[in-house]
Amino acid sequence: MSLIVVGTMAFDAIETPFGKVDKIIGGSATYVSWAASNFIKPIKQVSIIGGDFPDKEIASLKERGVEFDGVEVVKDGKSFFWSGRYHLDMNTRDTLITDLNVLAQFNPQLPDSYQGSEFLMLGNLAPAVQISVIKQLKTRPKLIVLDTMNFWMEVALDGVKEVLTMVDVLMVNDAEARQLSGEHSLVKAAMKIMKMGPKFLIIKKGEHGALLFHEKSVFFAPALPLEDVFDPTGAGDSFAGGFIGHLAKTKDISYNNMKTAIIVGSAMASFCVEKFGPSRLQEVSPADITERINEFVELVNFDINLV
């Protein structure tokens, strides 16, 4: 039972109303693996980094059971760099700089040791790269989860539509669901998107929680009301890591278990936003996670007594 995680490993510079950092570790695959490694190992990482990516960070991930056979290191290249600014409303952000660097040449070749994995998390990347990874797998994974973004809908919509036919679960935010479907109502948007391929759709609404759609059913998970959201970077990827990590651990990909997985994902996202970068994710213990999940249970638990 293993999990392949495909995505970026990068440097981020981030400004929020609470502070500023110049160059910290980031990238979708970094956040996914930190979150998922609480639940499942090994994690078979697929990414590309420059010679500037710190050995220490690689060693910490390896200690958590993350394998690097599928991570290409371009010794004289620089790692992907992203810089962004959040305003008081943490649900939106401005991208200030995107330096692709080694990511521009990313053409992942899956090592033989990655074959036979049952779970595949495709982080936000060019659809062509996501499709290439799926096609390299000789046996289709039991579950393929896809993340994508508005950017790819604008520059590579045909690619997005193609990869959608190949996956089980799509994760997007509310604005992206509206853009992809052309529908303002999220219920109508979900019905249209599920006709494009994925049998399950997760719509992330940031501080307003997440919706899981499947056939005619819908499940809602709130975000935990936090005193401070310090830095939302990586929250969506931490959510994805908790989600697929729980499914891989329990080996159960039913709709019912996906509801629980969304709560686990929401818990991981709620940790992520408490500090800059993945630092909070790196320090949480299993007991912290259990306690946080219980807070979610408390948050939505009610008795219906209509008598």
Interacting span for a copy of itself (CB under 8 A) from 42-50, 150-158, 159-167, 214-222: 214-222
187 binds a copy of itself (CB under 8 A): yes
- β pairing state of 43-50 and 119-122: unpaired
Q: Does residue number 303 form part of the binding site for a copy of itself (CB under 8 A)?
A: yes
Q: Which tokens belong to 229?
A: 């959201």
Q: Which of 2, 265, 237, 266 is nearest to 124 (CA)?
A: 237
Q: How many CB atoms lie within 10 A of CB 140?
A: 12
Is 153 a binder of a copy of itself (CB under 8 A)? no
Among 69, 94, 215, 228, binds a copy of itself (CB under 8 A): 228
Stretch near a copy of itself under the rule CB under 8 A, chosen from 1-9, 64-72, 153-161, 290-298:
290-298
CA 246/CA 221 separation, integer angstroms: 15
Q: For tokens 């159960």, name the residue.
A: 252
Shortest distance, position 167 Cβ to a copy of itself, whole Å: 22
User: Which residues make Cβ contacts (< 8 Å) with residue 151, sequence separation at least 6?
Assistant: none
Structure tokens at 173: 């935010």
Q: How far is the CB of 293 from a copy of itself (least distance, A)?
A: 6
Q: Select the residue interacting with a copy of itself from 222, 274, 279, 282 (CB under 8 A).
A: 222
What single letter denotes the amino acid at residue 134? I
CB of 285 to a copy of itself, least distance (A): 14
The residue among 61 and 171 lying less far from a copy of itself, judged by its C-beta, is: 171
End-to-end CA distance of the chain: 48
Catalog residues that contact a copy of itself under the rule CB under 8 A. Answer: 88, 184-188, 205, 208-209, 211, 217-222, 225-229, 250, 256-257, 259-260, 262-264, 290, 293, 297-307
